[in-house]
Amino acid sequence: MTDQLLRVLSQDGFIRASFATTTALVREVCHHQGTDPTATVALGRLTTAAALMGSLLKGKQRLGLTIEGNGPLQKLQAETDANGLVRGTIKTPVCNLPPVNDRFDVPGAIGKAGFLHVIKDLGLKEPYRGMVQLCSSEIAEDLAHYFSSSEQTPTSVALGVTLDQQGEVAASGGFFIQAMPDCDDDYLKALEQTLSSLPAISTLIREGLSAQQIADRVMTYLPYTVQATCELKFHCNCSRRHVLAMLGGLDAKELNAMAEQNEDTEVVCEYCKKAYLFTPAEIVNLVSAKK
């Protein structure tokens, strides 16, 4: 079953929601990063969160999520576009933290002090940048906190990643539900009751439920219409041209030091781990272009 993203709107317009299955996507992202189990769960949650927020994009818009904490993982990032193309990276992929109460210690791995950054490239002159302090480092709660404090939108967020006995991703996905202005409190109470009675999102996905079927379970008492669907895939948009442009942003002193080594300079993409080699002559050309 392919990973899918589904955006829905209740028929009265008071509730909007997005649902995603991300098992293959998270598995591939974490394979590129070489994550240990706890890091896999943490990065899988953030990657799923980015995929879900991509449902709010259109055209050539892009979105990035970054978590910086004082735990051993240090920094996690995930990016998406409006077409379901997602990538993710993590600074320290192995944290070796033991479970706490039979659960992966994601808060301990991220750290209790830090920030969630949201960057949206909406095609305007400058990208939108939002930031909130981490409230629990569980990621879903931090994202809900961002929506309520920075975008003034009451939001319920669920993110789940389950691993098999070999430490591979067995099921991953999530959803968020948002109350639109003037939403009736009775709607929210009905939703809360439904959500409290449901199994974990990763359990539903491991049982084989699709994004549509999960939406049906969550929106049981709220008739809805499907606004958009798309397939979710890992995709890295790095290229030799982009990396060369990045090198061109370094100052002449750094570039000269690279060229003087008389060997190719290797740059490895942090997302897909593809290596790009640049000869000393290419580095010298970059220096000359600055004059």
CATH number of the domain at 72, please: 3.55.30.10
- Secondary structure letter of residue 25 according to DSSP: H
- What letters, b where the CB count within 10 A reaches 16 and e where it falls short, cover 36-47? bbbbbbbbbbbb
Provide the pLDDT for residue 123.
85
Comparing C-alpha atoms, which of 252, 289, 281 is closest to residue 265? 281
How many residues in the chain?
291
H helices within the chain, ranges in order? 23-33, 37-53, 106-110, 140-150, 185-197, 201-206, 211-218, 240-248, 252-259, 280-289
What pLDDT does residue 291 have? 66
Residues 12 and 136 in one domain: yes
Residues 193 and 276 in one domain: no
Do 258 and 118 sit in the same domain of this protein?
A: no
Q: What is the pLDDT of residues 140-193, one digit of tens each?
A: 999 999 999 998 888 999 999 999 999 999 999 999 999 888 877 777 777 888
| Whether residue 258 sits in one domain with residue 211 | no
Residues 163 and 249 in one domain: no
pLDDT in tens, 208-217: 999 999 999 9
Number of structural domains, the chain?
Answer: 2
Residue ranges, the chain, pLDDT below 70: 290-291
Range(s) of the domain holding residue 219: 4-234
- Same domain? For 230 and 177 the reply is yes
Residue 195 confidence (pLDDT)? 86
Domain identity same for 52 and 118: yes
Q: Do residues 37 and 167 lie in contact, with contact meaning Cβ atoms separated by under 8 Å? A: yes
Q: Are residues 283 and 198 in the same domain?
A: no
Q: What is the pLDDT of residue 137?
A: 96
Q: Are 97 and 85 in contact (CB under 8 A)?
A: no
**Same domain flag for 222 and 265:** no
In this structure, are 13 and 76 located in the same domain?
Answer: yes
| 182 and 87 both lie in a single domain | yes
Helix axes of 140-150 and 37-53: crossing angle, nearest 10 degrees = 30
CATH number of the domain enclosing 269 = 3.90.1280.10
Is 208 found in the same domain as 255?
Answer: no
